[in-house]
Amino acid sequence: MNDEQIPLDRLAWERFKRHMKVLLHSEIGGKALGMFLLLIVFLVGINGLNVVNSYVGRDFMTAIAERNRSGFVQYAWLWIGVFAITTLVSVVSRYMEESLALLWRTFLARRSVHIYATHRVYFHLEESGEIGNPDQRIADDIKTFTTTTLSFTLMLVNGSFTVVAFSGVLWSISPLLTIVAVLYAALGTYCTVSLGRPLVKLNFDQLDKEADFRSALIYLKENADAVALSRREIPLLLRLQQRLAELAENFSVIVGVNRNVGFFATFYNWMIQIIPALFVAPMFIRGDVEFGVITQSAMAFTALLGAFSLIVTQFQSISSFAAVLARLSSFSEAVEQEVLQKKSPILASEGAEQIVYLGLTLRSPRSGRILVENLTVAFSHGERVLVRAPDESARKALLRVTAGLWDVGEGGLMRPAFDQLMFVTERPFLPFGSLKELLLPPHPLEAALMGATRPGSVDGLGAPMVEEKRIGSALAALGLETLPTRFGGLAAEQDWSNILPLAEQQLLVFARLLISRPRFALLDRPAATLSDEQLDMVLYQLSRHAVAYVVFAEAEDRLDRYDAVLELESEGAWRWMRSALG
């Protein structure tokens, strides 16, 4: 995106309208529209009060000039009353605006998180590298987009009301001054856009560079132990310094452009204060108008010019908003593309009793190198299979295509439904929660997202009730029977990835597998986290519970654990062998 221009053009407008349609057609669309219309009513009231304020201020200043004590006191109290009412309406309007922004942000963030976290979009975006820092776009860009959109929209509406309210006031004082206000605002808008246009792309790049710098810091924090033990601080330090230098370089250009815009905008704003007096003061000197008209004209001119000069006064915010809109739209478009992606050239069907590969060829997504060529083999239920592959890319490609996470290649495969397949990664994944939440098949939130409902469900989420006795039996089968006692029972929430050794974490994953009892378990390098004795115990329990297993490994000498071996060799070659010891 570094070389891409981000103009404020028709595309930006189409992106903006698309986000508006999403909101208006959502379940909160009616409520949001009602709150927005109420805000419009408040804006009408505020502008009406401002007009009243200008006339009361005029008469107040005229009373001072004429030394009219009673008029001074009368208009002073009236002015204070107008201020009090304006304050009340303005504060309630601001509260309503922030409430609407929060409602919109919550809806949009919840919708984005749901789409991002389902359909494995997070995985595909990470693999493709198409969208940088999606977490920042969901957390920060949505917040900026909703609050800024609402703020700008209300500014435009308020500006329209201001033009209607004060153009008549100013025209009644001096038609020429009204024309000057329009021409001055037009000139200011043109000059500001010309000077500040580069800010749109610069702000876009700055958001990414800030996120890259922050992610590098987070990476150092999350890998502190490994970095300290390996003494690899210098490469990470150089990387951080490079990210910081890129961030600072881009920001220095932004500062330079802001300086140029600032020169013009500051002079522009100072001139607003003197222009009304240049036209109205001679009229007062000639006796054509009262003294209070000078202050009234200044107020009307400032209000009218402020409405016409929205781009001048808000250009830096508008440029940042355009960058946020482009980032958020590109994220939304990429997410929708992943959800509605083109049909994969690898044909897959679910519901089979076996795992069957039919003329399957897999290629590297970057180099196009053949990893597996024309694989035709079937893994039957009840069969114990070893997939041995010195080439990590080939091994992972076959594992991922079985899980529906690989689409570079051709051929086909048949597999059971995904609820009858369970994949165990090399490094165990144990989210924060209780033992019961970890071992329930499926996890309650997973069941809610899938819309699953089963008899005996609990918590209103459709998660099946698994008796504590069954959980205890699975833990005991893997030597984990003391876990509930050690950590406060089945309902106690823990950060398991930090309090358990790696081997026990992996055994806990297998305990969930024993409770779920899928038809097939596909294990990625289980020997990397389990001892030889622990792996024997796990494989024995899988066979005992009628779970067929497929082990993916680099090398394996214990062929007595398997009925068949699939050897993935170099340049896509493969061999299928029955184990004489199986």
> Cα(274)–Cα(294) distance, rounded to whole angstroms?
11
Q: What is the pLDDT of residue 10?
A: 64
d(CA 407, CA 123): 13
The token pair at 315 is 């250009």
pLDDT of residue 578: 82
Measured on CA atoms in the order 16, 18, 21, 22, is the torsion positive or negative?
A: negative
Does 168 share its domain with 308?
yes
- The answer, yes or no, to whether residue 20 has pLDDT greater than 70, is yes
Average pLDDT over residues 571-579: 87
Residues 365 and 266 in one domain: no
Helices H, strands E: what count in the chain?
20, 14
pLDDT of residue 341: 60
Domain termination residue (choose one: 282, 317, 339): 339
Distance CA 498, CA 430 (A): 10
181: tokens are 């206000």
Within-domain flag for 256: yes
Tens digit of each residue's pLDDT (9 = 90 or more) over 481-528: 898 888 888 888 888 888 889 999 999 999 989 988 899 999 999 999
Same-domain pairing of 222 and 299: yes
pLDDT at res. 523: 95
Nearest to 393 by CA among 403, 382, 401: 401
Structure confidence at residue 302 (pLDDT):
74
Tokens of 196: 């500040």
pLDDT band at 450; cut points 50, 70, 90? very low
- The reply to whether 5 falls in a domain is no
Q: CA-CA distance, 252 to 255, in Å (whole number)?
A: 5
- Do 419 and 363 contact (CB within 8 A), yes or no? no
- The pLDDT-based confidence of 311 (bands split at 50, 70, 90) is low
- 229: exposed, middle or buried (Cβ count in 10 Å: 0-12, 13-18, 19+): exposed
Cβ neighbourhood burial of 574 (10 Å; 0-12, 13-18, 19+): buried
Res. 189: pLDDT tops 80: no
Residue 242 tokens read as 């490079």
Q: Are strands 355-363 and 457-458 parallel, antiparallel or unpaired?
A: unpaired
Q: Compute CA distances 153 → 26, 97, 493, whole Å.
A: 20, 11, 45
What confidence score (pLDDT) does residue 2 get?
42
What confidence tier does 357 reach under pLDDT thresholds 50, 70, 90?
Answer: very high
* CATH number of the domain that residue 140 is part of: 1.20.1560.10
For 10, residues 6+ apart whose C-beta sits below 8 A from its C-beta are: none
Which has more confidence, 52 or 10? Answer: 52
Is there a single domain that holds both residue 507 and residue 563? yes
pLDDT-derived band at 222, boundaries 50, 70, 90: confident
Token pair recorded at residue 503: 């081997």
Distances (CA, A) of 465 to 135, 442, 548: 34, 10, 25
Higher local confidence (pLDDT), 414 or 326: 414
Please indicate, yes or no, whether residues 241 and 306 belong to a single structural domain of this protein: yes
Within 8 A by CB and 6+ apart from 303, the residues are: 50, 162, 165, 166
Q: What confidence score (pLDDT) does residue 351 get?
A: 85
Whether 379 has a pLDDT exceeding 80, the answer reads yes
21-60 tens-digit pLDDT: 888 888 888 898 999 899 889 888 887 888 788 788 878 8
Place of tokens 């069957």: 356
What are the φ/ψ torsions at residue 130 (nearest 5 degrees)?
-70, -35
Determine what percent of the chain is predicted with pLDDT higher than 90.
19
Stronger pLDDT, 398 or 322, i.e. the higher one: 398
The answer to whether position 413 is within a domain reads yes
Q: Using omega within 30 degrees of 0 as the cis cutoff, is the peptide bond preceding 416 cis? A: no
Instruction: Give a yes or no: residue 128 inside a domain.
Output: yes
Highest mean pLDDT among 440-444, 445-449, 551-555: 551-555
Instruction: Say whether pLDDT at 442 is over 60.
Output: no
Residue 367 belongs to some domain of the structure = yes
- For residue 444, the model assigns a pLDDT of 43
- Name which of 65-69, 80-84, 534-538 the model is least confident about: 65-69
Contact 298, 276 (CB under 8 A): yes
Contacts of 52 (CB under 8 A, 6+ apart): 82
- pLDDT-derived band of residue 131, with 50, 70 and 90 as boundaries? low
Average pLDDT in the chain: 80
Q: Are residues 80 and 139 in the same domain?
A: yes
Answer yes or no: is 465 within a domain: no
The strand order across the sheet containing 346-350 reads: 346-350, 409-415, 355-363, 370-379
113 and 178 co-located in one domain:
yes
Is the same domain home to 257 and 350?
no
Q: What pLDDT score was predicted for residue 464?
A: 43
pTM reported for the whole predicted model:
0.58
* Alpha helix segments (H runs only) across 517-572: 532-544
Domain assignment present for 151: yes
Last residue of a domain, one of 339, 369, 395: 339
Q: Is 164's pLDDT higher than 80? A: no
Write the single-letter amino acid at 154.
L
- CB-side neighbour CA atoms (13 Å) of 108: 29
Extract the tokens encoding 388.
Answer: 């041995």
Say yes or no: 297 and 353 in one domain: no
* 189 and 234 within one domain: yes
Q: CB atoms < 10 A from the CB of 490, how many?
A: 18
Of all residues in the chain, what percent carry a pLDDT higher than 70?
83
- Using the 3D structure, point to which of 288, 315, 339 is the last residue of a domain: 339
Same-domain status, 263 and 117: yes
- Mean pLDDT within 359-367: 88
Q: For the chain, what is the domain count?
A: 2
Domain that holds residue 410: 346-430+500-578
> pLDDT by residue (tens digit) across 259-303?
888 888 778 777 777 777 777 777 777 777 777 677 777 777 777
- Closest to 6 measured CA to CA, from 279, 197, 157: 197
Q: What pLDDT band is residue 157 in, cutting at 50, 70 and 90?
A: confident
Q: Which helix (H) or strand (E) holds 574?
A: strand 574-578
- Are 363 and 250 within one domain? no
Q: Mapped to the 3 state alphabet, what secondary structure does 381-434 carry?
A: CCCCEEEECCCHHHHHHHHHHHCCCCCCEEEEEEECCHHHEEEECCCCCCCCEE
What single string gives the DSSP state of each residue in 281-333? HHHHHTTSS-THHHHHHHHHHHHHHHHHTHHHHHHHHHHHHHHHHHHHHHHHH
Tokens (6 digits) for 37:
């219309």
Lowest mean pLDDT among 123-127, 455-459, 516-520, 526-530: 455-459
Encode 1-39: b = buried (16+ Cβ within 10 Å), e = exposed: eeeeebebeeebeebbeebeeebeeeebeeebeebbeeb
Nearest Cα to Cα of residue 424 among 542, 253, 257: 542
Q: What's the CATH code of the domain at 561? A: 3.40.50.300
Determine which of 311-325, 342-356, 467-481 has the lowest per-residue pLDDT on average: 311-325
Under a CB-based contact definition with an 8 Å cutoff, are residues 132 and 212 in contact?
yes
Where is average pLDDT lowest: 462-471, 501-510, 557-566?
A: 462-471
The SS3 of residue 364 is coil
Quick check: 49 and 82 in contact, CB under 8 A?
yes
**What's the CA gap between 40 and 161, in Å, rounded?**
10
Q: Mean pLDDT across the stretch 457-475? A: 61
Q: Is 558 left (phi over 0), alpha (psi -120 to 50) or beta?
A: beta
Would you say residue 486 lies in a domain? no
